[in-house]
A and B are shown apart, each in its own frame.
Chain A
Amino acid sequence: MLKAEICITLKKTVVDPQGKTVKHALESIGYRNLEEVRMGKLAVVKLNYQDKKRAAEEIEGMCKKLLANPIIEDYSYKIKGI
């Protein structure tokens, strides 16, 4: 089996109100040297085959078609054997 961990974040050019709010909260509990906080989503997809090249193609397709919205989001992923 393979496991893909896909990280989806808002593009740098897009304002992230959730990240800003979390940054405020972190500051309010004493973490004072924060440059920025950005929030995102993590999708963990297990694949029942071993071919990493095929996995990369499929994960790329999933991100483009559904998991991320290219207008506002970027994505990155790691594929590992499990």
Chain B
Amino acid sequence: MRFGVIVFPGSNCDQDCFYAIKDVLNQPVKYIWHKEMRLGNFDCLILPGGFSYGDYLRTGAIARFSPVMKRVVDFAKRGGLVIGICNGFQILLEAGLLPGAMLRNRSLHFICRYVFVKVENNQTPFTNLYRKNQVLKIPIAHNEGNYYIDENGSSELKRNNQIVLKYCSQAGESEDRFNPNGAKDNVAGIINKEGNVLGMMPHPERSAETALGSRDGFFIFKSIVKWLKDK
């Protein structure tokens, strides 16, 4: 399985993702510089976290016009697997590959800590190794994770089962008091209607092995491999 990690100016989780794929998942992986006009042969593209273009204007707003993003959009339209983590998620929203937008956290604080998220949909290429409603311990680290979508969009997400991860308590209750940033309906991760593009605010690459404090994120990557093998 060939993974590609896109590197934007200001990405800072690219090496963590690269390491998680190469050394923890044991799969081939390459960096892809954001100026690339052509993609090689990949099975899955990862848009990592960070502060692309210094988060100027809006998070992800400038990165979405990087030359490589045209190729990412083509790849996604052909059914290729794309996962955006944190800033990568914000870029996918700005690029229109996922619906909605990110606002500043309601507390106005940058939040960097472990949270619990619940697997709402395990019938995806990215979550098939989890049980439905399984609670994962994964860290978040962001200032703009307050997911916003209007009422029509929100109904559509629910109707199509596009909400993949929700913030919750350790016991799996997804109430507002377990919502770290104010995200609509506790949304921590969503998938596109076609089911091949995932955006998530929590960092699976930072919870990919026990030494990091949690291994719960590893199965995001492992699910991708399983899905590609079974395809």
Contacts and interface: CB of A to CB of B under 8 A. Distances in A.
A69 B101 contact: yes
B65 interface: yes
A10 B182 CA distance: 16
Given A17-B182, A66-B57, A66-B61, A71 B106 contact: no
B100 interface: yes
Contact of B108 (A14, A21, A66, A72): A21
A67 B57 contact: yes
A21 B58 CA distance: 20
A26 B185 CA distance: 31
A18 interface: yes
A15 B184 CA distance: 11
A72 to B, nearest CB: 5
Contacts of A41: 57
A69 B62 CA distance: 12
Contacts of B106: 15, 17
B179 to A, nearest CB: 13
Contacts of A67: 57
A15 B103 contact: yes
A36 to B, nearest CB: 16
Interface in A33-79: 41, 66-67, 69, 71-72
Nearest to B107: A17
Interface of A: 10, 13-15, 17-18, 21, 41, 66-67, 69, 71-72
Closest 5 CB pairs of A and B: A71-B101, A72-B101, A17-B106, A17-B108, A69-B101
Given A18-B104, A66-B65, A71-B150, 18 more contacts: A10-B103, A13-B150, A14-B148, A15-B106, A15-B182, A17-B103, A17-B104, A17-B146, A17-B182, A66-B57, A66-B62, A67-B57, A69-B58, A69-B101, A71-B100, A71-B148, A71-B149, A72-B103
Interface of B: 57-58, 61-62, 65, 94, 100-101, 103-108, 146, 148-150, 182
25 contacts: A10-B103, A13-B150, A14-B103, A14-B148, A17-B103, A17-B104, A17-B105, A17-B106, A17-B108, A17-B182, A18-B104, A18-B108, A41-B57, A66-B57, A66-B61, A66-B65, A67-B57, A69-B61, A71-B100, A71-B101, A71-B149, A71-B150, A72-B101, A72-B103, A72-B148
